[in-house]
Structure 1
């Protein structure tokens, strides 16, 4: 989920902690627990700072080790330990329990996005992405804001947030039902499909679609059960050649292939420069595919420059690569 949603989730969990008599028995414990739930709800996303280094490292590692099983166990120990040193009068055990719940909830809800997490590490590096909730979901965010406003105006936070979470649980079930209906509609539209990726958007009934058959890739949108296919690409394996082998050694391309489950490729020659481009088919926007990986190599198959990330025009991509084709 986005940062704003994780923040309101942390505050709401702090309100729910008022159900714990040990938490409410001491104002210092209450303060420490609310701080723990807010910080714990944010801690796994500390790896966002990797973007300051480069996109390849960010793509490969974001929501990786910081969202793993060891991290879910270590974050609460670290956060509750620091808070207990600051507020030693607080009950450490209950501080740790509520902080643990905040960290666990952060990682758990991220699984439902299309980006996903490596939540099963160290047992598996597979990305777990159920793809039913958009990174920012206005309904989930709005319900949290309503709950926090009711708390602020004097409503008992325990029944308020218990009701809120019950409504959100029903909402998640509805999202799974809609996603399943969309997948069934895709199968009817493309009977020979072998792979279907249905990704949510900010709108409840609109979904992005990327599907594959043995011979083609398909990209489209779903509006309820109505499927519209925008693009159809012939499915071709990327060539097994020295050029491609050299290109795939680049950190940007290797990060892209580790993350993207469905993409197409293009190889272009500009005088003495070879360009290898990989294009993720999941994120079509206004007739453009903004998530790409590009590498340029010279005649000796040496990498000149490369880039991976979100680019919404060719001009901006060329500027990133500092390259003008002739």
Structure 2
């Protein structure tokens, strides 16, 4: 989930826990606690990109990490706010809840979250919501802003923290229902077309939860397409992308390739851009794929030029966007 959502939601939860006990400082503690697992961004300062991909949402997003950090934060806050009437039990519950919610909602994205690190490298991904979804973030953002502005003794504060917490929860549930519907449609379409599929996944297209990116295939290659919740026909216009694993022969022993394979969870293809060998992680979708079905994939890693990969996950998210592309996304999301 994006940082703004974590900060705003964390602030609302801080208000829910402490109300007038520590004043508006509750908003600050909430925002900080909710943001703490993302401290793993510092790994990018010294790790190679291929390793950083696995470090992000790794140990700092694990149950062990939040269990360790909860008493540290609780004792720090308890000491800073003395004298007060807040029990240590409440401090502990607050910080654990904030960080648990952070790692839980991160699991709704397609990046993958290492809840069980370091005991298991399994990544958990519900693939139910885009990493930056304004229909999730706006409610907590509005509520946090209002809570920061209105007086601490206002009777309206309870309404606003509930507004900022419960509406996003309802939206996440709605997204989960959408996910179940798209998955059901995808399985039905794959079976009807008798496609040679051993694995598939679905994930929302950018900034919405009505148009979904679909990938289905096997070790030979993948069928890629989009499906809207409002599509009337039981079909997906798939484009096929071969894996091209044979192209990896010159770099098969490279350490970064092993990291990438693990990170991609087997949803990858190999291509050549000119003389450059490129690793595509299909889970992050295509650049404007709903507009041009043969477009490049958002995540494309240059295996022979690793120095060009500093923005590997981000560089394709909104590449080539303009008014025409944005309108085409809206139309396709509406089933047109």
Q: TM > 0.5 between the two?
A: yes
- Change beyond 3 A, Cα 1:143–1:155: farther
Alpha-carbon distance between aligned partners in 2 of 1:185 and 1:123, rounded to the nearest angstrom = 35
Which residue in 1 is equivalent to 2:324? none
Aligned residue runs from structure 1 range 171-182, under 5 A: 171-182=171-182
- Greater shift, 138-147 or 7-16, is seen at 138-147
1:290 is paired with a residue whose SS is: strand
Q: 3-state SS of the aligned residue for 2:286?
A: coil
The aligned residue for residue 245 of structure 1 is: 252
Q: What is the root-mean-square deviation of aligned Cα atoms in Å?
A: 2.8
Tell me how far apart the structure 1 counterparts of residues 108 and 160 of structure 2 sit (CA, whole Å).
24
Deviations 1:139-164 (A, max 9, x none): 22111133335544445333443355
Equivalent position of 2:286 in the other structure: 284
TM-score (norm 1): 0.77
Unaligned runs of 5+ in 1: 297-303, 313-326
Question: 1:295-314 maps to which residues of 2 (within 5 A)?
Answer: 295-296=303-304, 308=309, 309-310=312-313, 311-312=315-316
**Contact 2:9/2:144, CA 8 A, preserved across alignment:** no
Number of the residue aligned with 1:231:
239
Shift of 1:118: 0.2
Inter-partner Cα distance in structure 2 for 1:158 and 1:60: 39
Question: Is the CA contact (8 Å cut-off) linking 1:32 and 1:83 kept in structure 2?
Answer: no
Structure with the largest fraction of strand = 1
The Cα shift of 1:281 comes to: 2.1
- Shifted more, 85-94 versus 120-129: the winner is 85-94
Cα distance in 1, alignment partners of residues 280 and 248 from structure 2: 18
- 1:8-47 aligned at under 5 Å gives the runs 8-18=8-18, 24=20, 26-27=21-22, 30=23, 33-47=26-40
The question of whether the paired residues in 1 share the 8 Å contact of 2:225 and 2:239 is answered with: yes
Q: What SS does structure 1 have at the residue aligned with 2:303?
A: strand
| Structure 2 residue matching 1:190: 3-state secondary structure | helix
1:92-171 to 2 correspondences below 5 Å: 93=88, 94-148=90-144, 151=147, 152-153=149-150, 154-162=154-162, 164-171=164-171
Query: Quick one: distance in 1 between partners of 2:80 and 2:96?
Result: 18
Higher-Rg structure is 1
The correspondence for 1:80, drawn from 74, 84, 96, is: 74
Can you give the 5+ residue segments of structure 2 that lack an aligned partner in the other structure?
289-294, 317-336
Instruction: Give TM-score, length-normalised by structure 2.
Output: 0.75
Instruction: Give the whole-Å Cα distance in 1 for the aligned partners of 2:140 and 2:306.
Output: 45
Query: Are residue 196 (structure 1) and residue 204 (structure 2) matched?
Result: no
Per the TM alignment, residue 187 of structure 1 is displaced from its structure 2 partner at its CA by 2.5
